[in-house]
């Protein structure tokens, strides 16, 4: 069973903000002639890499709610110029909205068991998929989703 990670999406106000950031990063990679991959740098290296990579996703907390996910394809540990160990989380550059769920602030990242993950919002989600993100966010905050 895959394991997932949960991380705050600092600075994003919405899923569309995150999507725009990913698009900007992909455009920059194209301009620089580099492989188009999205990475997110984090200070600590997850200890459960084998359970995450391949089938796991990084779930983003936006404005106090788990809102979207990206599949984690690789985790690359490295040492920065100051000699501090860090890692690149390599993400599939596709943002998948999920059913919003409240989440308290935390530092770093947390593991999320597969059984505890929110469901994707897709074509099978009925009216929820067609609903604007802000309305989903408000209904989830009221406990109605």
Query: Which tens digit of pLDDT belongs to each residue from 48-65?
Result: 988 998 889 999 999 999
The CA distance from 99 to 73, in Å, is: 22
Which position has the higher pLDDT, 108 or 97? Answer: 97
Q: What is the pLDDT of residue 2?
A: 87
Q: Residue 39: beta bridge partners?
A: 90
Q: E strand or H helix at 4, and its extent?
A: strand 3-8
| pLDDT at residue 44 greater than cutoff 80 | yes
pTM over 0.85: no
pLDDT in tens, 62-82: 999 999 999 999 999 999 999
């Amino acid at each position: 069973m895959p394991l997932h990670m949960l991380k705050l999406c600092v600075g994003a106000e919405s899923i569309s903000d995150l999507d725009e950031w990913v698009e900007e990063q992909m455009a920059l990679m194209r301009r620089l002639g580099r492989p188009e991959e999205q990475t997110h740098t984090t200070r600590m290296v997850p200890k459960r890499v084998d359970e995450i990579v391949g089938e796991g996703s990084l779930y983003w907390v936006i404005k106090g709610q788990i809102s979207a996910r990206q599949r984690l394809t690789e985790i690359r540990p490295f040492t920065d110029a100051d000699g501090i160990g860090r890692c690149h989380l390599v993400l599939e550059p596709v943002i998948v909205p999920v059913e919003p769920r409240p989440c308290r602030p935390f530092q770093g990242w947390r593991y999320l068991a597969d059984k505890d993950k929110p469901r994707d919002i897709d074509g099978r989600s009925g009216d929820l998929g067609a609903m604007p993100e802000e309305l989903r966010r408000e209904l989830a905050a009221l406990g109605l989703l």
